[in-house]
Amino acid sequence: MFLRHKFLSIALAIFASVSVVLAEEPAHDHEHKESKFNIGEMIMHHISDAHEWEFAHGLAIPLPVIIYDNGLKVFSSSNFYHSPEADHEHHIYPYKEAGYVLEHEHIYKIGADGKADKNSHVLDFSITKNVASMLLSAVLLLVIFLSVAKGFNKNKGKAPSGIQSFVEPIIIFIRDEVVKPSIGHGYEKYLPYMLTLFFFIWINNLLGLLPGGANLTGNIAITLVLAIITFLIVHFNANKHYFLHLVKPTGVPAALLPLLVPVEIVGVFMKPISLMIRLFANITAGHIIILSLLGLIFMAKSLGSATTGWAVSPLIVFFSLFMNVIELLVAFLQAFIFTLLSSMYIGSAIEDNHDADHGH
């Protein structure tokens, strides 16, 4: 049922956006008739963060701009995007005694020449699209799991019902098939973090696939923070055997230690780096493929005519919908893999004994 609704919503959104663009009369775009469709710019616009949340062309929600520049200043991002001085790349907002310009989603002060002063130091604490999406996912997680907890307390000794019947098997699967085998004795201490990690990544992966959704887990800053949290948990809970294995692996001849110890130490930092890059690259790649496919429709219109765009759109929309279904699987797999590897790293750090082959 979920897949069917997801498929239909994506199909309607794609057909609606294609219809709007292809149905535009040439006179409406008279000022830009010489310009060609830039697919790279379109893709970067959709996968990058922004100071407004755009759901479709012409439909956007302004977000709060919070900057610190000789004091805290708060105003709506609509002042940038809809100011009289705004153009395609430069969004100028004369705020009281100062003026600011938004260039490629970076905020600068306006210099004496009327252009962005790249040397100005403006601290940006704005609620951007990714931040808003992260807050939304946090609210969803609270609502879902408070409902599950309420259902669990209500149905003690009975079969689960409602959303509990959907979420509880997933929780048991992560506990029994991922966390418990990977961490072993004492896994209960880390189970809350692992469940939070899995559902946070999974829900945000799914939100990113919705039309107009933010590319949160495709933002390397987010995956970096998740990897750092896992790294800190591993090394704050690691026992002496873990650290001794780094400087003097068991069973390794002394002559090989100068070669092997640096490799072990580099491996410590490569683990969180691999976590960070794997999630970021897979989610971003999926979005780029889907956007590239959809961009082919508008490239056909730009290079040919609206008729050409309509001619190629059915096949491209079919492949785009197929890729969205594949991305539903990837959304779950990436959350699963990140949780599994995090569990394995914690398990290897808290083992009582570390043999030369790491536990065998």
Place of tokens 């609606």: 16
SS3 193: helix
C-alpha separations of 299 from 32, 39, 319 in Å: 15, 7, 16
User: With contact defined as beta carbons under 8 Å apart, do 343 and 177 qualify?
Assistant: no
* Closest to 56 (Cα-Cα) out of 259, 212, 226: 212
SS3 assignment for 278-320: HHHHHHHHHHHHHHHHHHHHHHHHHHCCHHHHHHHHHHHHHHH
pTM for this entry? 0.82
What's the CA gap between 279 and 339, in Å, rounded? Answer: 11
Rounded to an integer, the average pLDDT of 55-62 is 81
130 Cβ neighbours under 8 A, 6+ residues apart: 49, 214, 215, 216, 219, 222
> Does residue 209 or residue 9 have the better pLDDT?
209
Q: Convert the pLDDT of each residue in 224-276 to its tens digit.
A: 999 999 999 999 999 888 888 888 777 778 777 788 888 888 989 999 999 99
Q: What is the pLDDT of residue 25?
A: 38
